[in-house]
Amino acid sequence: MVLAVAASVALGLWQYDAWGTGRAAEARDLSSATPRPIGQVMGGDDPFPGQDLGRPVSLQGEWLGAGTLYVADRQLDGKRGYWVVTPVLVGESAMPVVRGWSAKPKAPVPSGEVEVAGWLQASEGSGASDDDPQDDVIPEMRIASIVEHVDADLYGAYVVAKSSTPSVDQDLSPVTPGSVPEVSTSTHLRNLLYAFQWWIFGGFAIYIWVRWCRDTIAESRTGTVEEEQVASSL
């Protein structure tokens, strides 16, 4: 019982700390921090580094123009339009880059080498459904939705471009970190629920131990009474 309770408490505290750390990381404003090369922040197969949400990064690679997509329902200055997204092949993995905002799902398709500076962002995941998975318009900036349109492995993140060299987006309105949808209030909620789950397991272990003690004592008393009755009858 002691081992079970100790393990449950420790695991619960670990999940609770993960929840607090994740929320604290996403509450930080790194938009004005010194840019870092994307390779120093995350690799193509790495999970998203929560502590670097919104961090300025730089990357060099080649535009994958055929993978250009448009993210619907994006607000800018009270107007509803689209984010224009084109992946950039960095080594063996492609980084989706939000090039800018457009009133219509139409923009020049870039090609060639490019150097991009921007802000690193996490994949969205509100569960919005795509009415037509075959077109080039997606309902949200979800990496899983982009995979189907790009012939390359994708980073588990995307970059909102601040600038690109050479520039191909003079006709697009810039997107800033303030235009990115806020992190859901349920972010890392799973870690918090896991913490409560482990603590409930610990409480259940104590309950089982108490019941076992009561049953054992009750059986012992019953056996003692029966022995006394037998002895008195003799």
Q: Give tens-digit pLDDT for 138-181.
A: 988 889 889 888 989 999 999 999 999 988 777 899 998 776 76
What long-range pairs does 80-86 form, CB within 8 A, spacing at least 24?
A: 82/137, 83/141, 83/175, 84/169, 84/172, 85/141, 85/146, 85/158, 86/110
- For the chain, give the longest Cα–Cα distance: 108
- Between CA 131 and CA 121, with CA 177 as vertex, the angle to 5 degrees is 65
Report whether 85 contacts 145 (CB < 8 A).
no
Q: By percentage, how much of the chain surpasses pLDDT 70? A: 84
**What is the chain's pLDDT, residue by residue, as a tens digit (234 residues)?**
888 889 989 988 888 887 776 666 555 667 678 889 999 999 999 998 888 888 999 999 999 999 999 999 998 888 999 999 999 999 999 999 999 999 999 998 999 999 999 999 988 876 666 677 678 999 888 898 898 889 899 999 999 999 999 887 778 999 987 767 655 545 567 778 888 898 998 899 899 999 999 888 888 777 665 566 655 665
pTM of the model: 0.66
